[in-house]
Amino acid sequence: MINSNGWHTGARSEPSPNCSDRPNGAKVSLLVIHNISLPPDQFDSNYVCDFFLNSLDVSIDPYFKKISNLHVSPHLLIGRKGELIQFVGLNDSAWHAGKSFFEGDENCNDFSIGIELIGADNTPYTDKQYQTLVSVTRDVMTCYPLVTRNRIVGHSDIAPERKTDPGPSFNWKRYLSALNV
């Protein structure tokens, strides 16, 4: 369930500074699915949370130095065991899409909700991740009715020259069929 402030009541809250107000008149009408692993192909959600909170210790891994200047965050993160963590209220813009476009509209952060899955393009996602993703997607679609089945995309769909996630290991058929919409 999503409260009037845009916070999911079933999520652990970890407010990130990497967000902004949505532009006047912008309505949530797109859901973007991402993946992340830090370091790449390692699934420790603590590093990911630290990254979204701008508190990642860059001395831990050489890869962390490469991303230390980035300030990003999704709205929601789903861990490998299905745990749900929220970083930004759904009524606000999270900085998850970067340079992006969908159906002629640029800057998808202005009108989208971003959900990250702990994972990698070529590693299967867990059953618990799909279960949580389906449940959260239903909640989003109820609260933001402009988000329809045709307006659920991968990061690769809105930034095809830069991004590949959620990758070939994401089972779109399984996910969309489970939504029953």
The whole-number pLDDT of residue 172 equals 98
Instruction: Round to whole Å and give the CA distance between 158 and 163.
Output: 8
CATH number of 12-179: 3.40.80.10
Give which of 106, 90, 102 is closest to 153, Cα–Cα.
102
Copy the structure tokens of residue 46.
């603590």
Closest CA to 125 of 158, 168, 162: 168
Residue 60, Cβ neighbours under 10 Å: how many?
A: 14
Instruction: Give the C-alpha separation, 87 to 91, whole Å.
Output: 12
Catalytic residue among 14, 83, 106, 116: 116
d(CA 61, CA 76): 24
Return the pLDDT at 45. 87
32 vs 155: CA distance, rounded Å: 6
List the chain pLDDT tens, one digit each, 181 residues.
999 999 999 999 999 999 999 999 999 999 999 999 999 999 988 999 999 999 999 999 999 999 999 999 999 999 999 999 999 999 999 999 999 999 999 999 999 999 999 999 999 999 999 999 999 999 999 999 999 999 999 999 999 999 999 999 999 999 999 998 7
Domain residue spans of the chain: 12-179
* DSSP single-letter state for residue 79: -
Which of 125, 72, 79 is CA-nearest to residue 99? 72
CB atoms within 10 A of CB 48: 21
Asked about 116 being catalytic, the answer comes back as: yes
